[in-house]
Amino acid sequence: MSTWFITGCSTGIGRALAKAVLSHGFEAVVTARDVHTVADLVAGYPDQALAVPLDVMDHDQVLAAVQATIDRFGRLDVLVNNAGYGYRSAVEEAERDATDELFATNFFGPLDLIQQFLPTMRAQGSGRIVNVSSTAGQVSSAGSGLYSATKFALEGMSAGLKIEVEPHGIRVIIVQPGPFRTDFAGRSLKQPDVPIAAYAETVGVRRKEKDTMHGTQAGDPEKAAEAIITAVMSENPPFRFPLGNFAFDVIRTELETHLAELAEWEYLGRPTDF
């Protein structure tokens, strides 16, 4: 897996992953909306690294970044769709423009990149597509409904994609981080301008949590980066790959709850066939 393309490299897991990929000796296309924020990452790797400006909502920039990758390296082995951000809002509070932008970044941007790079991967007969989701792609909570919707969409698309591309030698990996010490709970977390007071005891509690959580998260981005590289390089990579104790605990509890409810209501749901 010699050539990587990583979105959202200015901070957080994306930055840590780009740094680790280059230090392992791989080639990397390192992207960010402001390409100057990743100049230091590529400075020491003139033969391995290419910095490219990319806003995943901009289709023309996507096309240009894909072309720049092929022109420079001639192939792509690993696409990492990492760029994204959070949105904390009650469903009723959610602003239409903010919701559209959230889906454009967290879902339609990765979809565009996948569609543009798949012809190259199919021609190679190999590749890895890494879609960075979240525990919120499996478990939602008050204030995270819209953000979870983007990650549920990403995971649902990835599940179908997995079946479609495996015959072509391409594997799909969904990464599901818990809380990591990045800007996600700070600069990268957006909220409505006008909250509704009726949700003070649900979403309001999560807003207060944001004020205390940023900078204290348990997850280490550098350890996450090394874990992702190991998973990607493995012969039989996982399809869903949680990161951190929180992710494993919360997802396991959610799955157990689903199984219990399935068993409880099976008597009523099963007999509805002709």
Mean pLDDT within 76-89: 95
The single residue of 89, 133, 144, 158 carrying the catalytic annotation is: 133
Percent of the chain with pLDDT over 70: 93
Q: Helical H runs in the chain?
A: 12-23, 39-43, 59-73, 96-103, 109-124, 145-165, 203-213, 221-233, 245-269
**Does position 212 have pLDDT exceeding 90, yes or no?**
no
Q: For the residues 35-45, what does the mean pLDDT come to?
A: 94
38: buried, middle or exposed (CB in 10 Å: 19+, 13-18, 0-12)?
A: buried
* Rounded-to-integer distance, Cα 34 and Cα 10, Å: 8
Catalytic member of 19, 147, 148, 158: 147
Domain ranges, residue 59: 3-272
Active site residue 45: no
Active-site position among 148, 151, 158, 199 = 151
Question: To the nearest whole number, what is the mean pLDDT of the chain?
Answer: 92
**Which range (16-20, 187-191, 214-218, 266-270) has the least confidence?**
214-218
151 is catalytic: yes
**What is the rounded CA–CA span in Å between residue 217 and residue 195?**
25
The pLDDT assigned to 186 comes to 47
pLDDT in tens, 8-28: 999 899 999 999 999 999 999
Q: Check which CATH number belongs to the domain holding 74 and give it.
A: 3.40.50.720
Average pLDDT over residues 219-237: 94
Among this protein's residues, is 234 annotated catalytic?
no
| Distance separating alpha carbons of residues 273 and 120, to the nearest angstrom | 44
Q: Tell me how many domains the chain contains.
A: 1
DSSP code of 38?
G
| Closest-CA residue to 50 (of 25, 37, 31) | 31
Does the pLDDT at position 210 exceed 60?
no
User: What is the reported pLDDT for 50?
Assistant: 97
Average pLDDT of the residues in 36-52: 95
Checking if the pLDDT of 185 tops 50, the result is no
247-262 pLDDT tens trace: 999 999 999 999 999 9
Is residue 169 within 8 A of residue 70, CB to CB? The reply is no
Count CB atoms within 10 A of the CB of residue 209: 13
pLDDT digits (tens, 9 = 90+) for 90-148: 999 999 999 999 999 999 999 999 999 999 999 999 999 999 999 999 999 999 999 99
CA 16 to chain centre: 14
| Helices and strands, counts by H and E, the chain | 9, 9
